Amino acid sequence: MTLDDYQQAALRTINPALDDRDRLLDASAGLAEEAAEVLGLVRKRTFQQRTIDPAKLTEELGDVLWCLAVTASSLGLSLSDVAEANQAKLAKRHPDGFTRGPESWSRAAKE
């Protein structure tokens, strides 16, 4: 499955009662909410020595992906657009992989 295939599938499951404005708000707020659920799993693992259930982690990361897909679509972007732009940014910031220090990050961000 490609990112854009996933995005099209996600769009079939949006709430049809929402108008464009509310769909964007629902998805972008959900992005923060679902990311917090992932953080909660990591927090419990880190500070409470709990094991992360891979199925639960997969579910929550999937929820993040759904919200990202709908947010991007609501703003006229495909997931492949987002992925390619991010990859280009990372390739510029870390052309040789993650080998340089923080001082080069701020320089790359200004470029």
**Measured from the CB of residue 52, what is the shortest distance to Mg ion in angstroms?**
14
> Could you count the other beta carbons within 10 Å of the beta carbon of residue 105?
12
| Tally of CA atoms within 13 A in the half-sphere of 89 that contains its CB | 10
Q: Given the rule CB under 5 A, which of 28-36, 64-72, 82-90, 92-100 is the region that contacts Mg ion?
A: 28-36
Closer CB to Mg ion, residue 2 or residue 58?
Answer: 58
Q: Are 44 and 50 in contact (CB under 8 A)?
A: yes
Restricting to residues 74-103, name those near Mg ion by CB under 5 A.
Answer: none
Q: Which single residue is written with the structure tokens 């953080």? A: 39
* Residues of span 45-64 touching Mg ion by CB under 5 A: 60, 63
